[in-house]
Amino acid sequence: MHSYAEFRQQRLAGTTTCSETVSSFLKAIEASSHNAFLTVCKDSALEQATAADARFEAGTARPLEGLVLAVKDNISTKGIRTTCASKFLENFEPVYNATIVDRLVDAGAIIIGKTNLDEFAMGSSTENSAYGVVDHPTHTGYVPGGSSGGSATAVAAGLCHVALGSDTGGSIRQPASLCGLVGYKPTYGRVSRYGLVAFASSLDQIGPMTVNVVDAALVTEIMMGYDDRDATSAEREDTTLDISSDLDISGKVVGVLPAEQLEGLEDSVRAAYDNHIQMLRNKGAVIEEHAMQHVEVGIPTYYIIATAEASSNLARFDGVRYGVRKEHEGEDIMVTSRSNGFGPEVKRRIMLGTYVLSSGYYDAYYNKALKVRHMMSDFYKELFSRVDMYFLPTTPDTAFKRGERTKDPVKMYLSDYYTVSSNIAGIPSISIPAGTDEAGLPIGLQLQTGMFEDAKLLQWAKAMGA
């Protein structure tokens, strides 16, 4: 794995160049069998690397000059194929960049390619891609998590410095946990969603997957900030994520889960969680148990809201305006196009969403989910008036084998047991590496703070060694 912060020091010292680094990554991608990338931007990346070297030599290097970036393939990139890992958009090339892509490129980032994902970001294992599964970066035959599995594998397998993901219910943090990375979901509204192909608009958030928290802070500081093209973008005066100073956690209050809410954890994950709690105690933190309220309905609430919004958002894919168009005599073009263009998991979620929004079921399901969402937000507001940081597992277990859960969607959905609450409430959350299990599979643990306390969250992650 390669840190951008370390690369920049080496480039400034003259021990490497951007061109050498990009060439090395391109060779690694070509040799890789992980299927992490759907599109590789070889020529443009080499051209940008040459320009970046010239800037370093001239002393005009920008904040992210030479950072080699992989972009999840549901984020719009002008002139670069953006498929959402779906046959529906197999040859689609956007005519505009996502806001965060413009900001990162303007700061010096070099896009090396677009990464594989679960189709339209719907999944927890990256087995739902129309272009083949993504392999775990270190354990062949295991999944890297999802839906941002291609991005996680790209960073963990040493194919780029940083990769972007999108997180609707844990799709940055869960694969980061399974691949031994830092995966950061900012506060909802911190980072513009303009140019992100929407899955569930009130839950989606773009964030980085990195080797360490320093890289995560560098990249997110460039991405975040108000965007008038995104109606959900937050106007904030605190626009920096300076984590250069060390956080003294002595006397700080850390909330942890009680034993009854940890019963489903694998033994190795439970041991890592307990060991890190003891580490916090040793550093002087005050540990308090705080049960997560409404956790038993977190997954149902998330999937009701997410599928309802997905049903609405994906209605634009009709086979008429863009994407695949399947004409068949005697059949509706829209029905034929959607039947052939969407995969089974996308169809399942569209049907679920349409059902919970239908007459007679709207109040029974969707309205109740919105009420639970409000209660979960209230829980977090009250919690963070009493604790400085909330500490919990990222996933109940480590990476599982390919095909192990594809026939049991409910078991697959439970991979998000500990992650969906922060999306429902909109708070920032980060997964940090926490060792490995007996088989050498990575373990991740999760930190949460209050709304817009992103700098504080990253300081905590740094203090815990991420």
Q: How far apart are CA 193 and CA 208, in angstroms?
A: 14
pLDDT tops 80 at residue 256: yes
Measured CA distances, 11 to 7, 216, 232, 294, 310 (Å): 6, 19, 38, 49, 44
Give which of 429, 426, 446, 424 is closest to 294, Cα–Cα.
424
Give the residue-averaged pLDDT of 314-322.
80
Residue 387: the pLDDT is 98
**Could you tell me which residues are beta bridge partners of residue 289?**
256
Q: Where are the alpha helices (DSSP H) in 107-143?
A: none
For 52-72, write each residue's pLDDT tens digit: 999 999 999 999 999 999 999
171 is catalytic: yes
Handedness of CA 352, 354, 355, 356 (dihedral sign): positive
Q: How far apart are CA 442 and CA 398, in angstroms?
A: 7
Out of 171, 192, 415, 421, the active site residue is 171
pLDDT tops 90 at residue 409: no
Q: How far apart are CA 299 and CA 413, in angstroms?
A: 8
Band (pLDDT 50/70/90 cuts) for residue 253 is very high
Measured CA distances, 31 to 34, 42, 81, 114, 127 (Å): 9, 14, 22, 17, 21
Residue 328: the pLDDT is 59
Distance from chain centroid for Cα 147: 8
Picking from 28-37, 326-335, 349-358, which range would have the lowest pLDDT averaged per residue? 326-335
Out of 147, 233, 311, 415, the active site residue is 147
The pair of structure tokens assigned to 40 is 């590789």
Residue 326: the pLDDT is 65
For 296-306, write each residue's pLDDT tens digit: 899 999 999 99
Q: Is the pTM of this model over 0.75?
A: yes
Residue 336: the pLDDT is 75
For 175-229, write each residue's pLDDT tens digit: 999 999 999 999 999 999 999 999 999 999 999 999 999 999 999 999 999 999 9
142-181 per-residue burial string, b: 16 or more CB within 10 A, e: under 16: bbbbbbbbbbbbbbbbbbbbbbbbbbbbbbbbbbbbbbbb
If one counts the domains in the chain, the total is 1
Residue 339: the pLDDT is 76
Query: What percentage of the chain reaches a pLDDT higher than 70?
Result: 98
pLDDT tops 70 at residue 452: yes
pLDDT tops 60 at residue 464: yes
pLDDT tops 60 at residue 330: no
Q: Give, for 443, the enclosing helix (H) or strand (E).
A: strand 442-448
Q: How far apart are CA 70 and CA 415, in angstroms?
A: 24
Band (pLDDT 50/70/90 cuts) for residue 410 is confident
pLDDT tops 70 at residue 131: yes
Band (pLDDT 50/70/90 cuts) for residue 137 is very high
pLDDT tops 80 at residue 449: yes
72 is catalytic: yes
**Domain span at residue 235?**
1-466
Give which of 424, 448, 450, 292 is closest to 371, Cα–Cα.
424
Q: How far apart are CA 242 and CA 458, in angstroms?
A: 9
pLDDT tops 80 at residue 327: no
Picking from 291-305, 393-407, 409-423, 450-464, which range would have the lowest pLDDT averaged per residue? 409-423
pLDDT tops 80 at residue 14: yes
Residue 319: the pLDDT is 75
Give which of 10, 208, 197, 218 is closest to 98, Cα–Cα.
197
Higher pLDDT, 399 or 321: 399
Out of 19, 72, 129, 151, the active site residue is 72
For 96-128, write each residue's pLDDT tens digit: 999 999 999 999 999 999 999 999 999 999 999
147 is catalytic: yes
Band (pLDDT 50/70/90 cuts) for residue 325 is low
**Phi, psi (rounded to 5 degrees) for 447:** -120, 140
Picking from 16-20, 221-225, 320-324, 381-385, which range would have the lowest pLDDT averaged per residue? 320-324
Instruction: Give, in degrees to the nearest 5, the angle at Cα 177 between 97 and 391.
Output: 105
CATH number at residue 117: 3.90.1300.10
Strand 110-115 with 37-40, pairing: antiparallel
